[in-house]
Structure 1
């Protein structure tokens, strides 16, 4: 199996208001997010790629236009956790690139959430 990944960055605010009021994530706060999309294939295309990285540019545009410097709770209709973001970006990518295997999202340098069906 061949695997490639590409990393994207954005900054956004969110608030997990469904948590108890003394939980730090219940307060309005922000993160510098990292999104890593992974694509996988058993064989390479005629150019020798799983997929040309340039073809992933629509994800950068989607992230920049929809998420960067926005409030995530105004965009998503589910709690704006890293886990839900990973699933959201996975579904968005899978609809465009069948090779999508997983998406990871980081809120901090030490924390990651991954969606991999």
Structure 2
């Protein structure tokens, strides 16, 4: 069974490799929407896969690290596209949440990526 929790945060970035004149070449910001999916079996004792509070504790420090920052600086990514940023988030969250199986990262309510690790 999959369990999920949604988070949101604000951050800015710029994409240095897009053509001149492209609006993403300049610094701009997004309200990102991150959905974290964990997989597991339902515990007979608690009746859940994972306590939502434990999931939140695993993800919150990672979000606090990037919230209201310039992603190019804080992530070390030279070109922090949504795709590359999702991999960065995965690599930060997975050690804190071993049951992580998928993340969905939206840079707008209608555009984003789904990453399931490698």
Q: What's the secondary structure of 1:80's corresponding residue?
A: coil
- Alpha-carbon shift at residue 22 of structure 1 (Å): 1.7
**Structure 1 residue runs of 4 or more that deviate by more than 6 Å after TM superposition:** none
Q: What's the secondary structure of 1:95's corresponding residue?
A: coil
Aligned counterpart, 1:83: 83
Aligned counterpart, 2:96: 96
- Alpha-carbon shift at residue 96 of structure 1 (Å): 1.7
Q: Deviations over 1:22-44 (max 9, x none)?
A: 22111111001111100012x22
Residue 31 of structure 2 corresponds to residue 32 of structure 1:
yes
Q: What's the secondary structure of 2:31's corresponding residue?
A: strand
Q: What's the secondary structure of 1:70's corresponding residue?
A: coil
Q: What's the secondary structure of 1:56's corresponding residue?
A: helix
Aligned counterpart, 2:17: 18
CA contact (8 A) 2:103 2:116 kept: yes
- Alpha-carbon shift at residue 95 of structure 1 (Å): 0.7
Distance 2:116 2:61 in 1: 23
TM-score normalised by the chain length of structure 2 = 0.88
Q: CA RMSD in A?
A: 1.3
CA contact (8 A) 2:7 2:33 kept: yes
TM-score normalised by the chain length of structure 1 = 0.89
Give structure 1 stretches of 5+ with no counterpart. Answer: none
